[in-house]
Structure 1
Amino acid sequence: MFGCEWDDETEEVNGIRQDGYDGEDFIVFDLKTETWIAPKQQAVITKHKWDNNKAQIAQYKHYLTQICPEWLKKYLNYGRSSLLRTETHSQFTHIFSHSPSSPVSCHATGFYPDRAMMFWRKDGEELHEDVDLGEILPNHDGSFQMSADLDLSSVPAEDWRRYDCVFQLSGMEDDIFTKLDKNPVYIYIIAAVVVLALVLLAVIGVLVYRKKKGERLKQKDCLISFSVFRF
């Protein structure tokens, strides 16, 4: 195992280079003294041999104090937007269902970091039964999303108002509470409306196109007739 450390305030650099065997340290390179340390008696012979290899020691020292810190700073700069990212609240929390017979899903997205919790409550008490908690998944912009499904197939519609979804994000003072409406939004209805709207727009576009095309043809016929009459 080898690696390096860099203090961005003091600019101090430190490196490690060690070998192990069967889960235990075998021999370790001391960067300050530029010698090898043998934690095990079996490594003493190797220590003396490697201590006399000055070219190898110089190579390790150059790598641990020069090359490795340069790569460390480069990767730190590459990941700065993620590593130094501050906490953000959930941008969108809502409740929906795929169909009237499907479980009701509480969904939160756009939050950071991924240390978050979500659960369903009934009359203020957390529920454990009939709840399917999904995994925290990444979004394309580096934020995260999660959802929790609740099976209400045996619950009368008039009792749905007793349920709510709670979203908790690490570092956020207040929790987000989303009350379950008696009529949650159904995805398939929204999809049908969107498709219908697109079809309607397409039909209108075709009619407008045909109308304009017909007007151009009439104008062209008028010009031809006028030209024939003129000659």
Structure 2
Amino acid sequence: MQLFLALCFLLGIPSGAPEIHSLKYFLTASTQVPNFPEYVEVGLVDEHQITHFDSNTQRFVLKQDWMNQVTEELSTYSERETQRNLATQQSFKGNIEIAKERFNQTGGLHLVQYMYGCEWDDETGEVNGYEQFGFDGEDFLIYDLKTETYIAPVQQAVPTKHNWDNDKALIAYTKNYLTTDCVDWLKKYVEFGRSSLMRKDLPSVSLLQKTPSSPLTCHATGFYPDRADLFWKKDEEELHEDVVKGEILPNHDGSFQMSVDLDLSGLKDEDWGRYSCVFHLAGGQEVSKRLDKRDIRTNWKTNDGGVNIGAVVGGVLGAIAVVVLAGFGFIIYKKTQPKGSRGTSKSDTSSSSGEEAMQSMLKTSS
């Protein structure tokens, strides 16, 4: 689902610009997906996971220490969210069956996805909101805040669009939630988590190579947050050929590391100075390291009598080897709203067929 993925991996804004904060919730209900819960919900603030619930554990979990301030302010927060998720889990099982009927499908693997949230510019005060529904990896229904109507990317969603567009109370509720309630909770979360959410650490960047014929590795470690990029460029152009980029991995201290390899086999000696490895952190900060043979850490002894620093490289690679990989598997849903839980049920009844699609998409808050 292209729109979903794009919203899941926003990288921030240039340095010096006002900070744009976001609160997003993602929900997925599924059938016959091996080793995956039938229902999962996750909340994110500025791309940091803050909450998690799934049908396997039946538990609502806070994923950031600073989120405990929410429970101190609202003692019923976790219990209320647990009960809401249990109810929503049952509702979304029905949504899958309804969607299958709409698409004339029977058994097999199926997914219903729901994403919504808001953004807030802390300098201009500008806000924005979004809400999307999907079925089996394709967009099903999208809310347009500007026109206060729903967009139906597929024919099967048209009856739902018409019914929801004509429900003026629902449209008013959705607009108010996305532009007011959601933003109020986003501001609260940003206040509670400011020290963590605003943290930005630049990495140390090293050039590593096992042998003269091995690819050259640019390794960046110690950066935070994990919304970052590492790439090779020649002159001012980013390279995509002869480059292999690794995943972002967590360090034991909460920071992150990543690496990108460059194939040197076709590189001429006179061109070395034209290459550089660039680390880019969300927010615009960069660290650039120009390609220089004298800066390469290697585990072979150079022909000109250079020092064998294999022990150094071994230590670096050893540190990488013991990193514990942290998986953030699936991202899901939740709505927040001050002073207690409030829910409405979206139902879609077609006057011609009597079918219902995407009903009971609960709009609750925390």
TM-score (normalizing by structure 1): 0.51
Return the alpha-carbon distance in structure 2 between the equivalents of residues 119 and 131 of structure 1: 8
- Alignment correspondent of 1:179: 290
Return the alpha-carbon distance in structure 2 between the equivalents of residues 155 and 107 of structure 1: 20
Structure 1 position 9, deviation (Å): 7.8
Structure 1 position 85, deviation (Å): 6.0
Deviations 1:101-151 (A, max 9, x none): 111111100111111101111011111000000111111111110000000
Structure 1 position 87, deviation (Å): 2.1
* Residues 174/20 of structure 1: CA separation in 2 closer, same or farther (3 Å cut): closer
Say if 1:166 and 1:176, in contact at 8 Å, map to a contact too. yes
Report the number of matched residues.
Answer: 140
Structure 1 position 25, deviation (Å): 9.0
* Residues 156/184 of structure 1: CA separation in 2 closer, same or farther (3 Å cut): farther
- Alignment correspondent of 2:206: 94
Match of 1:154 among 261, 266, 269: 266
Return the alpha-carbon distance in structure 1 between the equivalents of residues 273 and 289 of structure 2: 11
Amino acid at match of 1:191: G
Amino acid at match of 2:248: I
Say if 2:232 and 2:277, in contact at 8 Å, map to a contact too. yes
Structure 1 position 23, deviation (Å): 4.2
Say if 2:244 and 2:262, in contact at 8 Å, map to a contact too. yes
Amino acid at match of 2:76: V
Say if 2:221 and 2:258, in contact at 8 Å, map to a contact too. yes
Deviations 1:17-57 (A, max 9, x none): 4123644399xxxxxxxxxxxxxxxxxxxxxxxxxxxxxxx
- Alignment correspondent of 2:229: 117
Return the alpha-carbon distance in structure 1 between the equivalents of residues 220 and 244 of structure 2: 15
- Alignment correspondent of 1:11: 74
Say if 2:207 and 2:297, in contact at 8 Å, map to a contact too. no
- Alignment correspondent of 1:199: none
* Residues 162/138 of structure 1: CA separation in 2 closer, same or farther (3 Å cut): same
The runs of 4+ residues in structure 1 deviating greater than 3 Å are 1-10, 20-23, 83-86, 192-195
Superposed CA RMSD: 3.5
Match of 1:129 among 226, 234, 241: 241
3-state SS in 2 of match to 1:107? strand
Please state which structure has a larger fraction of its residues in helix: 1
Say if 1:100 and 1:186, in contact at 8 Å, map to a contact too. no
Amino acid at match of 1:20: S
Deviations 1:159-186 (A, max 9, x none): 1110001101113x43111100034423
- Identical-pair percentage: 46
* Residues 192/107 of structure 1: CA separation in 2 closer, same or farther (3 Å cut): closer
- Alignment correspondent of 1:190: 309
* Residues 166/8 of structure 1: CA separation in 2 closer, same or farther (3 Å cut): same
Amino acid at match of 2:241: E
Return the alpha-carbon distance in structure 2 between the equivalents of residues 8 and 138 of structure 1: 28
Higher relative contact order (CA 8 A, sep 6+): 2
Return the alpha-carbon distance in structure 1 between the equivalents of residues 271 and 248 of structure 2: 29
- Alignment correspondent of 1:24: 95
Deviations 1:50-89 (A, max 9, x none): xxxxxxxxxxxxxxxxxxxxxxxxxxxxxx99x9464232
* Residues 127/23 of structure 1: CA separation in 2 closer, same or farther (3 Å cut): farther
Say if 2:298 and 2:313, in contact at 8 Å, map to a contact too. no
Where does structure 2 lack aligned partners over 5 or more consecutive residues? 1-54, 63-68, 98-191, 300-307, 315-366
* Residues 144/194 of structure 1: CA separation in 2 closer, same or farther (3 Å cut): closer
Return the alpha-carbon distance in structure 2 between the equivalents of residues 111 and 190 of structure 1: 25
Return the alpha-carbon distance in structure 2 between the equivalents of residues 21 and 104 of structure 1: 49
Match of 1:168 among 280, 305, 309: 280
3-state SS in 2 of match to 1:20? helix
Where does structure 1 lack aligned partners over 5 or more consecutive residues? 27-79, 196-231
Larger Rg: 1
